[in-house]
Amino acid sequence: MAPPLLRLDQIALTFGGTPLLTDAALSVSEGDRIALVGRNGSGKSTLLKIAAGFIAPTDGEVFKHPGVTVRYLAQAPDMDGFANVHDYVEAGLGPADDHYRVGYLLEHLGLTGEEKPDNLSGGEARRAALAKVLAPQPDILLLDEPTNHLDLTTIEWLEGELRQMRSALVVISHDRRFLENVSRATVWLDRGVTRRLEQGFAGFEEWRDKILEEEERDLHKLGRQIVREEHWLRYGVTARRKRNMRRLGELQTMRSEFRNHRRAQGTAVLKASDARESGKLVIEAEHLSKAYGDNILVDDFSTRIQRGDCVGFVGPNGAGKTTLLSMLTGQLASDSGTLKLGTNLEIAVLDQRRDSLNLEQTLSDYLTDGRGENVIVNGEQRHVASYMKDFLFQPEQLRTPIRELSGGERARLMLARVLARPANLLVLDEPTNDLDMETLDLLQELVAGFPGTVLLVSHDRDFLDRTVTSVIAPEGNGRWLEYAGGYTDMLAQRKEALATRKEIKGAKASAATSDAGKVAPAREEKRKLSYKQKFALETLPAKIETLHAEIAALEKKLADPDLFAKNAGLFNKTVDDIAKKRHSLEANEHEWLELEMLREEIEG
């Protein structure tokens, strides 16, 4: 086994009260891909900051191999003193690093580099910070929630980027699919202690459940043993005084162990408030269109959504998901087309733009709208402290300002407010952001079992696969299509459609060859493709095949385990060449698909 580049042993940390970390460990060797998992508030981010050198532990040892470079993705990046995003990202490079990567990374993360730090949203600042830590390709990458504010296309790009980088990786994420795709080992931080599984995240949950079951079984045995000892001391033979004193001491030790045992954190109780049943037809849209100047976000979209449907909306940032959702719920007027909403609709909306939260407001005032100390849930009056417990908040947090909550706690608070409202149509915009996996499981069960209708915007592929009955996705130029099933089903259907188009194109080419020399019957001219578009349609398939072959050849060269040691410059150049060609391949495939669809529309 390779010696560790970074090692944390017996790390303890306390800020007063219950220690946050008591016996935490983390060992990172060359080539490691580690998922760091645990409940919200368990100390994952703190442990990562200790590894990065930003926090000193109360006790324990931190060792970093001399010369090892570490980059840490901060939750709130400091961009003071930089004129624009490009300068901020470039500041993370070392003397020997490739400056080309700055533009490449910014492009894939949806930034131009000219943005001013003062004008960035929270999501844009996070993407800029991600570009800064990826650009130098350090020995160790410490990433805290890297997929936050990324769309699905960018998340999948990031997975590929991390797989081809030589950096060792420790990542915190609540995106199951992302962790499954990038991790090879899992470190579980639970009640201040870490345990390591030498498997990726795919094997974690079964392993964790077994550990918790064994722990509960051992605790139950200890409780039974205490009862037996207490009975013996009360009614047993008392002649041998020394022996009795010894057993009394053992009993006191067992009682202390039982009393001080920190049980696993409980789970939230998520239940939507009941509302009267809506009509069978919830939404009927016909030929909706919406544009802002020359930017067409929705073009001729029609759908019928019925009671019980759970519809997912996916697509790149800026594609128009929120616009389409607002049109379908009647919050935004369309430029053309008709919208019919069903009867008896009671809509509850979860808007994940946390910027709208009043950070000075207390939890109690937020949940009750400042009206007393009670909330009405399912027609029953409940004290707000009791309701807060369902979402893992403590009574003493009643008067806590929202600004003091973590991202996960704010997400749970917003869910608590939305689910207290009676609704038969849930509109959830990125509901999974910052939720831990146990709460995600409960939210998934709530959405899947909701008797009404759900409209869901999400970039969490696993969550989509587990909940939605159909997916609406953009196809380019304002066109949106609805696919039956979850996200994986949508990908399969798209792949099948693409294969069918290729077969049709091949068949037409064969027919054209066999009919060569024959005089084609006169027909009405319908073609409107430009010469440039027709030329692209003819030449792009060959370009795509060439790029596939070139990428395969480069990846074969990169597969040499000794390449970096023998020639670091060639290794880095090969990695960059692969990245450039993949970007070009993606652009060519997208252009060909759009042109092919346009041609089919023109030709009927």
Q: How do residues 535-576 score in pLDDT, each as one tens digit?
A: 777 788 888 888 888 888 887 887 777 777 788 778 778 877
Among 37, 339, 284, 314, residue whose Cα is nearest residue 185: 37
Q: What's the pLDDT at 316?
A: 83
SS3 assignment, position 495 = helix
37-51, 127-141, 360-374, 546-560, range with the lowest pLDDT: 546-560
Query: What letter would DSSP give residue 518?
Result: S
Cβ–Cβ contacts within 10 Å for residue 227, how many? 10
Amino acid at 236: G
Confidence band for 69, pLDDT divided at 50, 70 and 90? very high
CA distance 311 to 305: 8
CA distance 251 to 355: 54
Tokens representing 173 are: 């994420």
Predicted confidence (pLDDT) at residue 526 exceeds the cutoff of 70: no
**254 or 346, greater pLDDT:** 346
Predicted confidence (pLDDT) at residue 260 exceeds the cutoff of 50: yes
With vertex at residue 490, the alpha carbon angle to CA 346 and CA 295, rounded to the nearest 5 degrees, is 70
The rounded mean pLDDT for the chain is: 82
Q: What's the pLDDT at 520?
A: 46
Bridge partner list, 382:
375
Q: What's the pLDDT at 451?
A: 85
Cβ–Cβ contacts within 10 Å for residue 565, how many? 9
CA distance 528 to 534: 10
CA distance 398 to 364: 5
Predicted confidence (pLDDT) at residue 122 exceeds the cutoff of 50: yes
For 29-68, the pLDDT digits (tens) are: 999 999 999 987 788 999 999 999 999 999 999 999 998 9
Cβ–Cβ contacts within 10 Å for residue 542, how many? 9
Among 219, 241, 240, 221, residue whose Cα is nearest residue 229: 221
Mean pLDDT of 88-96: 89
Confidence band for 579, pLDDT divided at 50, 70 and 90? confident
Q: What's the pLDDT at 327?
A: 93
Is pTM, for the whole model, over 0.95?
no
